[in-house]
Structure 1
Amino acid sequence: MNALTRIREAARGRGLLMLLLTALCLAGMAEIGRGLYVPAKAMVAQVLLDRAFERSLTTRIPQKPWAWADMTPVARISAPRLGVTRVVLDSGSGQAMAFGPTLLPGGAAFGEPGTAVVAAHRDTHFSFLRYLRKGDVITVQTRDGLERRYRVIGSDVVRWDGYAVPELAAGERLELVTCWPFDAVRRGPWRYVLHAERI
């Protein structure tokens, strides 16, 4: 094998190695982008939802956050001790949860007797639930201007198929539901349920 042939083979090997490294870098950047997409979408959506909620408060008419939206903001919940505020959507669908917390059907409406149930993702909108503790206050303001305060009374971890919207209870209660454990990267059967009752 002459020197020219060895140089060509070495160059071909380096070229394949560079091609492989480039492909791995592109695949890694695609994964990073995919991982950032949902949190970025959630942050931008909350800005648009907050604006729509403010318009709803002013007009007393449900306002869509963007023209093609199939949901509208129904309330704003806050955890004052943590400085966290989230806009809650009126659609209980999984698609709506990509944009914000949703009021689940089957539960009470805010301000009505019974239990209002709000669900959201653990890695975006409800990541703060892990820091709420017994005695903390959660405030709710509806798009109709109704304001309520709830105190956290406890929490449970249940299987998704073992959770049901609580039966009609005396007074007003609030439950915030998200996947559990908080640090998991895959879906699982467990749900974290935070219980609060009206003050």
Structure 2
Amino acid sequence: MRALLQGKTGRAAAAALLIVCGLALTAQGAWIPAKAILAQVLLERAFAETLASGHPQKPWPWADTVPVARLTLGGESYIALAGSSGQALAFGPGHVEGTPQAGEPGTAVYAAHRDTQFAVLRSLMPGDPVTVTRSDGTTVTFRVTGRRVARWDASGLDPQAPGRHLALSTCWPLDAVTQGPLRLIVEAERMEQP
């Protein structure tokens, strides 16, 4: 009888341990998307303050970046941060260092994670509009011209290309669970102002 009770107790403990591990893995998997959603609320507030004051506002006191633009694409709107470091991309799209502001001569590049904000790139097609509102209040509209896949270190994007272009980049394939060297790049050209 004692062996039977010990066996049941051991199985119950093992089942409890498996349940706790499953809950921990579920929480870990939900953390990044939840953080991205909450961050966008704080970033919207900081971006509104930036537009109103004309001075960059941090979204939270310990932030090492500031909101620089609002991207509106595929029916969604996201606040983009200065820089494309892992710390910035954990909270939203990042304006890639060394590229011009959207609407200025050259190619402005924004990057984000494929499983948060830039999951929307899946549905962008040639002809679709992308609107960028910069922190100086300037709003620029682009029209998607194409999409392609390239290695991260061979994107062919030129920040000083003639014209006024926009590139949105995220990891490829969109449904992968691990990082890889490929990026989906959605390219757009500035629409002429009337």
TM-score > 0.5, shorter chain as reference: yes
Structure 2 gap ranges (5+): none
Per the alignment, residue 127 of structure 1 pairs with 119
Q: 1:164: Cα distance to partner?
A: 4.7
Q: Distance in 2 between matches of 1:190 and 1:113?
A: 27
Which whole-Å CA distance do the structure 2 matches of 1:53 and 1:178 have between them? 23
Task: Find the partner of 1:179 among 147, 171, 174.
Answer: 171
Name the larger-Rg structure: 1
Report the counterpart of residue 3 of structure 1 in structure 2: none
Contact 2:98 2:159 in 1 (8 A): no
- 1:30 correspondence with 2:24: yes
Distance 1:140 1:167, change over 3 A: closer
TM-superposed deviation, 1:111:
2.9
How far apart, in 2, do the equivalents of 1:111 and 1:159 lie? 25
1:142 corresponds to which of 127, 131, 134: 134
Q: CA deviation at 1:83?
A: 1.7
Q: TM-score, normalised by structure 1?
A: 0.93
Q: What whole-Å deviation, never above 9, does each CA across 1:121-157 have from its counterpart, x for those lacking one?
A: 0000100000000000000101111110000000110
Distance 1:90 1:168 in 2: 19
Three-state SS of the structure 1 residue aligned to 2:11 is helix
Give the percent of matched residue pairs that are identical in Structure 1 and Structure 2: 47
Task: Identify the residue that residue 48 of structure 1 maps to in structure 2.
Answer: 42
User: Letter of the aligned partner of 1:174 in structure 2?
Assistant: L
| CA–CA separation in structure 1 for the residues paired with 2:165 and 2:95 | 13
Runs of 4+ in 1 over 2 A off after TM superposition: none
CA contact (8 A) 2:103 2:190 kept: no
Structure 1: how far apart are the matches of 2:163 and 2:84? Answer: 23
Partner of 1:4: none
Would you say the 8 A contact 2:100–2:159 is kept in 1? no
1:87 aligns with 2:72: no
User: Which of the residues 6, 11, 15 maps onto 2:9?
Assistant: 15
Structure 1 alignment gaps of length 5 or more: 1-6
How many angstroms apart in 1 are the aligned matches of 2:139 and 2:166? 13
Q: Alpha-carbon deviation of 1:106?
A: 2.0
Asked if the contact 2:130–2:141 (Cα under 8 Å) also holds between the matched residues in 1, the reply is yes
What value does the CA root-mean-square deviation take over the aligned residues?
Answer: 1.0
- Name whichever of 103-112 and 150-159 sits farther off: 103-112
Q: Which amino acid aligns with 2:95?
A: L
* SS at 1:95 equivalent: helix
Secondary structure in structure 1 of the residue aligned to 2:153: helix
Distance 2:83 2:166 in 1: 17
- Within the candidate set 96, 99, 106, 2:91 is matched to 99
Aligned equivalents of 1:69 and 1:165: distance in 2? 29
Q: 1:135 aligns to what SS in structure 2?
A: coil
Aligned residue identity for 2:4: A
Q: Out of 149, 159, 181, which is 2:151 matched to?
A: 159
Change (3 A) 1:190 1:43: same
Aligned residue pairs, count = 191
TM-score (norm 2): 0.96
